[in-house]
Chains A and B, each alone.
Chain A
Amino acid sequence: MTTIARTPPGQPRARPVRRSPLRRRRLVGLLVLVVLLLAACFASVAFGTKIIAFPQVWSALFAPTGTEDDIVVRALRIPRTVLGVLVGIALGLAGALIQGHTRNPLADPGLLGVNAGSAFFVVLGIYLFGVTSLLGYVWFAFAGALVASVVVFTLGSMGRGGPTPVTLALAGAALTFLLNALVSAVVLIDTDTLDAYRFWNVGSLAGRDSSIAGQVVGFLAVGAVLGLASAPGLNALSLGDDVARSLGHSVRRTRVLGIVAITLLAGGATAACGPIAFVGLVVPHAVRAFTGPDHRWLLPASGLLGAVLLLAADVLGRIVARPGELQVGIVLALVGAPFFIALVRRRKMVAV
């Protein structure tokens, strides 16, 4: 009888000792993601355009002697892998954040105008200042991302109670189309700019040396911390702005925090590698399958899966197109699309 006695109101109910299946599923899911990430990192170091046997990879990692294989692994593949992990985490996190903030499952980090802003500034850099090096693009791209998302956020938050999901999404879409049109205008006028820009416009991890990762890692780290910190606030926001307010959350503060995080993450990633679509859109949907809608789980898991996805696509692009390579942005879309569609078909989709 005592077991089914109802707890009197006002007393906290005793926590069940048995772990709930949801919690177990989340933990297993996170564990699987960590294992996958390690595997992807190894693959990224081991496989490439140049075929290097595993023993040589091993010795290059732990007992380098300065052979050509050692140099390829240590000077090219390790920095590339590190950059892939950083950018992948950033894109996955940014995707989960923007979908949460706009309550729009169709949103991706590019929606705030981040990618379009970067592209526009990069094109201006090429056209006006003749910048052609990747290192030169980074700062233009980052400045563009910042400017664009500040504009979108300002315009989207003119309404009552700060930015609503709908105004954010529409302001972002409007600015994105506007900036893309301006980019088109410039590359139409000037063929040389088109020639340089079309290669930046396909996201890639290739040819980025470790200095680029070094330049953006600070932004990405701050963005990640801010983003993860906004998880509880996002959970409240997902009940609707009014409910969140009545629960004592500052809707405006959570939004500002989130937008700053998204800008740092997506802007840093785009600056480092060019626009990489799809990761930010797909990852949160895939992760929700085992985490459910709780952002405290969804955000870290999205970051992990983003890194796995980006590295896997990068390795695949190196293997399938030997002796050249396919850019990671292209591989992601061509390989990721079928997976994403299968995912959408398989599950009863939850609206965010």
Chain B
Amino acid sequence: MSTALRRDPPRVPGRVPFRAAGFSAVWRPRTALVIAVGLVVLVLAMAVNIGRGEFPISIPEVLAVLSGSGDGGQRFIVLELRLPRSLTGALVGAALAVSGAIMQAIARNPLASPDIIGITWGASAAAVAVIVLGGSAGSVVGLLATTGLPIAALLGGLVSAALIYGLAWRKGVQGFRLVLVGIGINAALVALVNWLLIVARIYEAARAQVWLNGSLNARGWEHVLPVGIALAILVPAALILGFVLGGLQFGDDTARGLGIRVDLARTLLLLVAVGLAAIATASAGPIAFVALVSPQIAQRLVRSARPPLGASLVIGAALTVVADVVARTAFAGVELPVGIVTAVLGAPYLLYLLVRQGREARA
């Protein structure tokens, strides 16, 4: 798949190796640049996002508060009320993007991402079932509707991932088979959600529709913590395991020849990807498109042969926070769900990159 994307043959000579205490890598200036620019965009977008609201706070003031100064009132508003929302957005976006990058690299197919192979929809089906069936049962109004939804979503995502993995297992898991099984499960889950929307009363259908679009509304520290902890564990794991992704690109036999324990590596990587996607969906709903588009944008900006993990992470976080800013400001008074805006922002940019790539190839 990815060979068609490479614009020029790889220049291995001229790469500067980087070594430190048993760890070695190749120094890629482009990757570093993309990550740096992405981080700047992310911090600025967060500052803008935090500054908006009933009490506007200017960007310099926000940055001052974030760096530890600023006055008491501003500190309270920023740190207690507005920072958690932006942080949740950044963390969720990062989690989805890394998850997508891992899956796309393993399956060697840009269409393999958690929102296509049923993990996100597993979470959604569980949540919609709670909204629709819980609502009509009448007993589960207060508690389960607020705290129950994320837990139901997390369980739904993990259960469907376990199901996909179990069904795809035959003397090891091939990335390709896994994705196809995932698409099968996904189709069933989408149908289930559509059916639930039909049997629901219109009020519950509307509520479910809101959840299905993903939202960062009213996210507090209690939402940041689980995603933060998950990321702190899973992202380093992904980056360490990511070193075998390059070898896995050559197919199983070559990868084995390179000394990679293919099945073990793939299983661990998938576990990481699934965990990230499920936790992200549980905390902010299924924010569309981030997992699919961020790795693809990163790959084109970095000009690598496969979706790069680090750059994907930064771009996913930046995209989600920028989308949140737009979602809150696009229509005065009406706040769009962030999941709508990620697609509206991400899709044209991916299309622009595709078109530009085509032009460059022709030139």
> A residues engaging B (CB < 8 A)?
104-107, 111, 155-160, 164-167, 169-171, 173-175, 177-178, 180-182, 184-185, 187-189, 191, 194-195, 198-199, 201-202, 277-278, 281-282, 285, 326-327, 329-330, 332-334, 336-338, 340-341, 344-345, 349, 351
B135 in contact (CB, < 8 A): no
Say how far B64's CB is from chain A's closest CB, in angstroms. 36
Q: Indicate if B176 sits at the interface (CB-CB under 8 A).
A: yes
Question: Is there an interface contact between B4 and A166, defined as CB atoms closer than 8 Å?
Answer: yes
Q: Which residues of A contact B213 (CB under 8 A)?
A: 184, 188
Closest to B191 in A: A333
In the complex, A351 Cα to B337 Cα: how many Å? Answer: 38
Given known contacts A160-B358, A182-B344, A345-B177, A194 and B209 CB-to-CB distance under 8 angstroms: yes
B216 within 8 A of partner (CB): no
**Considering the chains assembled together, what is the distance between the CA atoms of A195 and B202 in angstroms?**
7
Contact call A181/B195, Cβ cutoff below 8 A: no
CB of B343 within 8 A of CB of A332, answer: no
Other contacts beyond A160-B361, A174-B347, A333-B192: 12, CB < 8 A? A106-B183, A170-B296, A173-B292, A175-B351, A181-B289, A182-B344, A188-B210, A201-B194, A202-B191, A277-B187, A334-B192, A344-B168
Question: Is A337 a contact of B184 with CB atoms below 8 Å?
Answer: yes
Q: Inside 8 A of B337's CB, which chain A residues have their CB? A: 184, 188
Could you tell me the distance between the alpha carbons of A83 and B50 in the complex, rounded to whole angstroms? 55
Contact of B343 among A169, A178, A198, A338 (CB under 8 A): A178
Quick check: is B19 within 8 A (CB to CB) of the other chain?
no
A341 to B213 alpha-carbon distance, docked (Å): 28
Mark each residue of chain B from 326 to 363: 1 if its CB lies under 8 Å from any CB of chain A, else 0.
00000000101101111110111011001101110110
**What separation, in Å, do the CA atoms of A345 and B340 have in the docked complex?**
35
Q: Which residue of the partner chain, among A160, A170, A277, A340, contacts B354 with CB atoms under 8 Å?
A: A170
Give bound CA distance, A337 to B185, whole Å: 6
CA distance A171 to B168 in the complex (A): 28
What are 23 A-to-B residue pairs whose CB atoms are below 8 Å? A104-B109, A111-B111, A158-B355, A158-B358, A159-B359, A160-B361, A160-B362, A170-B354, A174-B351, A177-B289, A180-B288, A181-B347, A188-B206, A188-B210, A194-B202, A277-B190, A281-B187, A329-B191, A333-B188, A334-B192, A337-B187, A338-B184, A344-B168
Contact A185 B183 (CB under 8 A): no
Docked Cα-Cα span, A182 to B126, in Å, equals 24
Question: Is there an interface contact between B198 and A198, defined as CB atoms closer than 8 Å?
Answer: yes
Give the total of B residues in contact with A, Cβ under 8 Å: 62
Q: Is the CB of B194 within 8 A of A345?
A: no
Interface residues of B, dominant DSSP: helix
Q: A158-B355, A169-B110, A174-B347 are in contact. Are A194 and B362 (CB under 8 A)?
A: no
A349 to B175, CA, bound (A): 11
Complex CA–CA separation, A170 to B160 (angstroms):
25
Task: Tell me if A341 and B176 are in contact (CB < 8 A).
Answer: no
The reply on B167 being an interface residue by CB < 8 A is yes
Q: Are A169 and B187 in contact (CB under 8 A)?
A: no
Whether A330 lies near B362 (C-beta < 8 A) is no
Most buried by A among B5, B191, B194, B212: B191
A333 and B191 CA atoms in complex are apart in Å by: 6
A194–B351 CB distance below 8 A: no
Contact A171 B354 (CB under 8 A): yes
Which A residues lie within 8 Å of B272 (CB)? none
Q: Which residues of A contact B206 (CB under 8 A)?
A: 188, 191, 194
Chain B residue numbers with a CB within 8 Å of A185 are 336, 340
Indicate if the CB atoms of B187 and A175 lie closer than 8 Å: no
* Contact of A180 with B180 in the complex, beta carbons under 8 Å: no
| B210–A178 CB distance below 8 A | no
Q: Chain A's interface: helix, strand, loop or mixed, by majority?
A: helix
Could you tell me if A181 and B288 are in contact, using CB atoms closer than 8 angstroms? yes
A107 to B47, CA, bound (A): 40
Complexed CA–CA distance, A182 and B197 (Å): 19
Contact between B344 and A159 (Cβ–Cβ < 8 Å)?
Answer: no
Closest to A174 in B: B347
In the complex, the chain A residue whose C-beta lies closest to that of B349 is: A174
Q: Which residues of B contact A344 (CB under 8 A)?
A: 168, 177, 180-181, 184
- Distance A332 CA – B190 CA, assembled complex (angstroms): 11
Q: Is the CB of A166 within 8 A of B347?
A: no
Q: Which of B167, B205, B293 contacts A194 (CB 8 A)?
A: B205
Chain A residues contacting B5 (CB-CB under 8 Å) are 166
The 8 closest A-B pairs by CB, nearest first: A159-B358, A333-B191, A181-B343, A178-B347, A337-B188, A158-B358, A174-B347, A177-B343
List, in ascending order, chain A residues with CB within 8 A of B66's CB. Answer: none
Query: In the complex, what residues of A have CB within 8 A of residue B362's CB?
Result: 159-160
Query: Could you tell me the distance between the alpha carbons of A164 and B210 in the complex, rounded to whole angstroms?
Result: 36
Per the bound structure, the CA–CA distance linking A198 and B212 in Å amounts to 13
For the complex, give the distance between the alpha carbons of A282 and B205 in Å: 29
Please give me the residue from chain A that is nearest to B189 by CB atom. A333
Are A340 and B111 closer than 8 Å at their CB atoms? Answer: no
- Alpha-carbon separation in the docked complex, A12 to B87 (Å): 71
Chain B residues with CB below 8 A from A171, complex form: 351, 354
- Please name all residues of chain B whose beta carbon is closer than 8 Å to the beta carbon of A330 when the two chains form the complex: 191-192, 194-195
Given A171-B351, A182-B344, are A166 and B194 also a contact pair (CB < 8 Å)? no
Chain B residues with CB under 8 Å of A107's CB are 111
Does B170 lie within 8 Å of A345, measured CB to CB?
yes
Q: Which residues of A contact B194 (CB under 8 A)?
A: 198, 201-202, 329-330
- Which residues of chain A are within 8 angstroms of B190 by Cβ–Cβ distance? 277, 333
CB neighbours (8 Å) of A195 from chain B are 202, 205
Q: How far is the CA of A174 from the CA of B210 in the complex (A)?
A: 22
A191–B111 alpha-carbon span in the complex (Å)? 32
**Contact of A170 with B361 in the complex, beta carbons under 8 Å:** no
A351 touches B358 (CB 8 A): no
Q: How far is the CA of A175 from the CA of B354 in the complex (A)?
A: 12
Complexed CA–CA distance, A102 and B339 (Å): 27
Complex Cα gap A340–B348 (Å)? 33
- Cβ-defined contact, A155 with B355, below 8 A: yes
Instruction: Tell me how far the C-beta of A266 lies from the nearest C-beta in chain B, rounded to whole angstroms.
Output: 16
**Residues in chain B near residue A340, CB distance under 8 A:** 180, 184, 187
Tell me the bound Cα distance from A323 to B289 in angstroms.
40
Residues of B within 8 A of A111 (CB): 111
Residues on B with beta carbons closer than 8 Å to the beta carbon of A166: 1, 4-5, 110
Please, what's the 1-or-0 string for B119-145, where 1 marks a CB less than 8 Å from any CB in chain A?
000000000000000000000000000
Residues of A within 8 A of B276 (CB): none
